[in-house]
Amino acid sequence: MNTFNKLGIPPGRAICYSGFRQGQNPGGVYPSYDEVKEDLLLLKGHWKYLRLFDCDQHSETVLEVIKNEKFDFKLMLSAYITAEMNNFNCPWNGGVYSEEKLELNRLYNQRRIKKLIKMANEYSDVVFSLSVGNEACVEWTDHYVPEHCVISYAKEVQSNTKQMVTFCENYVPWLTKLGKLANVLDFISIHTYPVWEYQHIAQALDYTKENYYSVAKKYPNKPVVITEAGWATQSNGRGINPENVNQDYQRIYFEKLMEWTTKDNILTFFFEAFDEPWKGSPEPLEPEKHWGLFFADRKPKLAAQKLLNISK
């Protein structure tokens, strides 16, 4: 099950990194060079691999900081692709667009893939893998892209770069419908969130293992990586019972997850480094905002305090 050996990379801890702080958001104000440098200094020495979510201005800054400051990180760089097809199953206000908008999205996605290729080649010494999308095939997504389109993007990136190519998706579609895509990719990337599926902390690790091994068993000849697994620390009740989330539970899940995946040599990107205030609804306790091991002001939560050997 050693994914590091199968991928040809040295073992190391991995984490999802998005550095948007209070008042910042994709398409608006982006983190500055100094802010990104501050973040990476906090992560340096504790995590080897970072996953970035898009080949945007933020990722450009991250790559610039790593190169200039000679930080020892390796990156999974991604292209965030947008809806190319309506999804009437999306449970919130999204997923349905005009045909004109969908056509604009297709053109946008094609440009995004070309930018992913350009950045991958420019920073080939830092970028070790490439993802051609994020949660774009799951039944509840608001940015649905058909499997055959994702396959086309994967092949285009493989033909024009030397890095390994993947697609990041919830574990369920890998079990039900993404077999053709899986065959094309260099490795499979899954997301597993027990707390979103109403699991208590006591069942969380077993549930995560069940998710992981079900996909690994279905694709025995493909490395399977966990690109998102985490535990929120706040909730307003939207999708997550507030009683199931707090800093103690996050610390327990983080530590148990790291113990298992380190023992079994499974590359696992914990979700995520820092809270992101821009996400979800305007409500302060919206769970989407509270997955970080650090608060938005960069103060460490309990799991990070213990890892960094910081006392309160």
pLDDT in tens, 52-66: 999 999 999 999 999
Per residue in 299-311, pLDDT (tens digit) is 999 999 998 886 4
Q: What is the pTM assigned to this prediction?
A: 0.97
Give CA–CA dist 234/59, Å, rounded: 27
Check if the beta carbon of residue 73 is closer than 8 Å to that of residue 49: yes
89 burial (CB, 10 Å; 0-12 / 13-18 / 19+) is exposed
Residue 1: predicted pLDDT: 72
Distances (CA, A) of 156 to 160, 162, 187, 290: 6, 12, 16, 35
100 burial (CB, 10 Å; 0-12 / 13-18 / 19+) is exposed
Q: Which CATH class is domain 3-307?
A: alpha beta
Q: Where are the domains of the chain?
A: 3-307
Band (pLDDT 50/70/90 cuts) for residue 312 is: very low
Per residue in 259-299, pLDDT (tens digit) is 999 999 999 999 999 999 999 999 999 999 999 999 999 99
Give CA–CA dist 119/76, Å, rounded: 12
Per-residue pLDDT, averaged over 176-185, amounts to: 98
Terminal C-alpha separation, the chain:
38
> Left (φ > 0), alpha (ψ -120 to 50) or beta: where does 309 sit?
left
